Amino acid sequence: MYTKVMELNYWGSTTAKSAQYDEKTGEWTVVVERDGKEVVLRPKQLVLATGMSGKANVPTVEGQEIFKGEQQHSSQHPGPDAYAGKKVVVIGSNNSAHDICAALWEAGADVTMLQRSSTHIVKSDSLMEIGLGDLYSERAVQGGMTTRKADLIFASLPYRIMHEFQIPIYDKIREKDADFYAALEKAGFMLDFGDDDSGLFMKYLRRGSGYYIDVGACDLVIDGSIKLKSGVDVSHLTENAVVLKDGTELPADLVVYATGYGSMNGWAADLISREVADKVGKCWGLGSNTTKDPGPWEGEQRNMWKPTQQEALWFHGGNLHQSRHYSQYLSLQLKARQVGIDTPIYGMTKPQHLS
C-alpha cells in the first residue's frame, strides 16, 4: 500500500546477483533475477539499503562437522514450532538470543542460553518512558512534539558529547529497575551499561550490538525457565552436545548461533567485489575507541548516508529515526547529482578498517 500511495517503482521477489561500476561511463551494470529471468539495470547510483548489519557471523567451532543435530545462525532460525521437547543451546545473549530463547521455551523446548560476555539490558517500558518519552510518546505529542521535529532534535546532538547526556538517563533507569537488575545478576547474568555507562544508544551507535531491549525474556532467565550458562565460551561440539571450556556438557538437538553480523560492506563484497568492499571499508561506528568501535574518531557513522570511496555507491540503514531522517539527506544528494548540481565533497576520510 505504501508503494502505491507514494507511487514508487517497486520490485518484490527480485534478487540482486551482481553489480559492476564503469568509471568511464559513470554507470552501474546491475544484474537481477526477477520471475526466474535475468534483468540488467544500468543506474547511475547504487544504494545498499540492507539495514545496519552485514552478513551473518558464524563462528568456526571444532566438531561442527560431526554434530548430528541441527545448526543454524539466528538469521536462519525458522521459529520454535519444530523444536517442542528438543534440547536447544543458543550461543549469544543479545536481542536475537533472548527472543529466540523465549519463543523456544514457550513452544516447549528445553533451552539454554550461553552468555560468553556481558550484555546491556534495558526494559522496553523504561526505555520508552525515560529514554525516549520527551520525543517519542503520546505525552510528547500532547506537548506539541511532531515526529519530524523529534527526529531533528535527536539528530542535532553531536556524537562527541552524546554520551554525557545519556549517562544520567541510564542512571535513572538503573535506579528505577534496581530490583530487576539485582535479580538478573543473582541468576548469574553478566550485566553492563557500556564502556562509560552511557547505555543502549551509544552501544548501538558505536557497535550495533551488545544489548537486549527486554520485553519479557529476562523474567524467564531470572526464574530459570531459560537456563543460563555465563562467563565461559565453547570448546567443541560432540555428536550430541556442546562442550564448554570449563568441561560442562550441554546436550543439544539444535545449536543456534546468535552471534551477530559483520559490517555492511560484506554485502558489497558479495554483490560487487572484495576490492570495492575494502576500498569502502567498515560501515557503522563512530571511531570512539570503545569496545568493537576502533578509532580514529570519525564524528559520524562510517560510510552511512554519504559519499564513499567508491564513486556512486551509498549505504543506508539504521533504526526508524535514522531511516526517516537521513534518507532525506541521501535523497537530496542523489537528486543533486541527477540534475547536475555541483556536489563537491570535503574531508572524505579514508577507510581505517576493512571489516
149 contacts: CB under 8 Å, gap ≥ 6: none
Residues 35 and 167 in one domain: no
Predicted local confidence at residue 319, as pLDDT: 93
The DSSP call for residue 65 is T
If asked whether residues 270 and 226 sit together in one domain, one would say no
**177 backbone dihedrals φ, ψ, rounded to 5°:** -110, 30
Find the domain containing 237 and state its range.
70-257
Q: HSE, CB side, 13 Å, CA atoms: give it for residue 336.
A: 14
124 lies in some domain: yes
109: nearest Cα among 127, 86, 143, 90: 86
Indicate if 135 and 205 belong to the same structural domain. Answer: yes
What are φ and ψ of residue 305, in 5° steps?
Answer: 65, 20
- Dist. CA 255–CA 241, nearest whole Å: 9
Same domain, 157 and 290: no
Q: How many domains does the chain have?
A: 2
Q: Judge whether 28 lies within some domain.
A: yes
Q: Are residues 17 and 42 in the same domain?
A: yes
- Closest to 286 measured CA to CA, from 240, 352, 217, 192: 352
Q: Are residues 78 and 223 in the same domain?
A: yes
344 occurs within a structural domain:
no
For residue 350, tell me if it sits in a domain: no
In a domain, 351, yes or no: no
User: Residue 233: what pLDDT?
Assistant: 96
Contact 86, 256 (CB under 8 A): no
Q: What is the CATH number of the domain that holds 198?
A: 3.50.50.60
Q: In this structure, what C-alpha cell is assigned to residue 255?
A: 545449536
Domain C-terminal end among 239, 257, 275: 257
Query: Can you tell me the distance from the alpha carbon of 304 to that of 59, in angstroms, rounded to the nearest whole number?
Result: 27
In a domain, 175, yes or no: yes
Here the CATH number for the domain that contains residue 284 is: 3.50.50
Give me the tens of pLDDT residue by residue for the chain, a chain 355 residues long.
999 999 999 999 999 999 999 999 999 999 999 999 999 999 999 999 988 889 999 999 999 999 999 999 999 999 999 999 999 999 999 999 999 999 999 999 999 999 999 999 999 999 999 999 999 999 999 999 999 999 999 999 999 999 999 999 999 999 999 999 999 999 999 999 999 999 999 999 999 999 999 999 999 999 999 999 999 999 999 999 999 999 999 999 999 999 999 999 999 999 999 999 999 999 999 999 999 999 999 989 999 999 999 999 999 999 999 999 999 999 999 999 999 999 999 888 889 998 7
Structure confidence at residue 354 (pLDDT): 86
139 and 108 fall within a common domain: yes
Nearest Cα to Cα of residue 189 among 228, 216, 244, 227: 228
Of 288, 283, 274, nearest to 353 by C-alpha is: 283
DSSP 181: H
State whether 140 and 244 are in the same domain. yes
Same domain assignment for residues 268 and 251: no
* Statement to judge: residues 84 and 113 lie in one domain: yes
Domain limit, last residue, from 206, 228, 257? 257
Taking the C-alpha atoms of residue 105 and residue 227, their distance in angstroms, rounded to an integer, is 10
Question: Looking at the structure, do residues 143 and 213 belong to the same domain, yes or no?
Answer: yes
> At which residue does the C-alpha cell 527472543 appear?
99
Instruction: Tell me: do 224 and 317 sit in the same domain.
Output: no
**173 in a domain, yes or no?**
yes
In a domain, 349, yes or no: no
